Amino acid sequence: MKTYFKLLMLFVIFASGVRHASPAQKSSNLSNAKKVPFCTLALNPEKYDGDVVITEAVSHSYPHNAGLSDPLCYDQRTDDGRLLDAQPTSDKPVELETEYMNALREDGNARLIFIGTVESKKRQYGPMGLPFQIRIQKFIAVHRITPAEREALGIPEGMNILLKRSPVPPPPDGR
């Protein structure tokens, strides 16, 4: 019986070690991140599933969560008509997260450069059913969006992003 428990404990220890990469492995993964434009990710998330990428996106707050998008592909949709947005997520607090959260709370959005892992197998993420998510591992930069950037790129302020980019067309009678 003791042998059984020892084997079981060794298995549990081994299995948990396999699931969690060591800090050296995680650091190596971050330094090998692929540079991929956000619109490219959004148009082909399954191609990058499981990959560690470095990209730039605009983060915007929805009523109960946040989303990532790129103003350069606001007018494009997935094959099934969804916005080319991603659900941001993270396992633990990351550097610059406070700055990011302050920008979202105060301005409703922020421009980000970050490293993260793409996840697309489920095909629907978050309350909005977004086509993929990015598990943010490191922020490279968090920028407030200036009025000039908003005007030039058509970035609505804060929650107005839902009104400007609504995935549901208005009814024909305008009500």
Is the whole model's pTM more than 0.85, yes or no? Answer: no
- Of the two residues 26 and 110, the one the predictor is more confident about is 110
Q: For the chain, list the domains and their CATH numbers.
A: 31-163 (2.40.50.140)
Q: Which of 21-25, 41-45, 76-80, 106-110 has the lowest mean pLDDT?
A: 21-25
The CA–CA distances, whole Å, from 104 to 58, 140, 158, 175 equal 10, 17, 8, 31
